[in-house]
């Protein structure tokens, strides 16, 4: 299998895992560690095949994951997000890679506002807590697709 095809399949599998995590967070307000670990392994596949097969993409992805994870821990410590959401930032960083961090950051706020607005419309009452995995998944998917194509 070519590196490009492997990369595309890795992206598709990672997006599917992100979608499942987001759906579970919407439904049960919980993100399982096993799901995060699965996403991390899939995201590492994306990073390994980002520029052909090689470790430079993986190192870049792990660095991005580390930065986002530390940021997620800070947000969690301040009470802005839950623990599962904070842990989600690690595999998401590996998935988007260093080159996708800017796109992810730029897409996260609009994705969060849209999700907040839709939840408000659906529920008909003010939303006090947002299942943050959904906007994170939307922003990560958008950042990866924008950086690829």
> Phi, psi at residue 31, to the nearest 5°?
-125, 120
Closest C-alpha to 133, from 97, 82, 68: 82
pLDDT digits 0-9 by tens, 118-147: 988 888 877 777 789 999 999 999 999 998
Asked whether the beta carbons of 45 and 62 are under 8 A apart, the reply is: no
Q: Has this prediction a pTM greater than 0.85?
A: yes
Query: Whole-angstrom Cα distance, residue 61 to residue 44?
Result: 7
Q: How many CA atoms does the CB half-sphere of 120 hold within 13 Å? A: 9
Query: Whole-angstrom Cα distance, residue 124 to residue 52?
Result: 48
DSSP annotation of 52 reads: B
Radius of gyration of the chain (CA): 15
pLDDT digits 0-9 by tens, 28-82: 999 999 999 999 999 999 999 887 667 788 999 999 999 999 999 999 999 999 9
pLDDT digits 0-9 by tens, 89-125: 999 999 999 999 999 999 999 999 999 889 888 888 7
For the chain, the structural domain boundaries read: 3-148
| Residue whose tokens read 């950042």 | 143
Predicted local confidence at residue 126, as pLDDT: 77
| Residue whose tokens read 């690829």 | 148
| Residue whose tokens read 């967070």 | 25
Lookup: tokens for 103:
């796109």
């Amino acid at each position: 299998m070519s590196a490009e095809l492997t990369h595309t399949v890795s992206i598709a599998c990672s997006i599917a895992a992100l979608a499942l995590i987001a759906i579970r967070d919407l439904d049960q307000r919980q993100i399982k560690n096993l799901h995060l670990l699965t996403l991390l392994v899939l995201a590492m596949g994306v990073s390994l095949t980002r520029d052909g097969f090689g470790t430079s993409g993986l190192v870049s992805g792990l660095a991005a994951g580390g930065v986002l994870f530390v940021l997620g821990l800070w947000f969690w410590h301040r009470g802005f997000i839950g623990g599962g959401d904070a842990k989600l930032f690690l595999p998401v960083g590996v998935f988007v890679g260093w080159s996708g961090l800017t796109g992810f950051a730029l897409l996260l706020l609009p994705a969060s506002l849209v999700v907040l607005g839709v939840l408000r419309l659906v529920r008909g009452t003010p939303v006090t807590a947002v299942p943050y995995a959904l906007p994170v998944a939307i922003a990560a998917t958008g950042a990866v697709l924008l950086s690829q194509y």
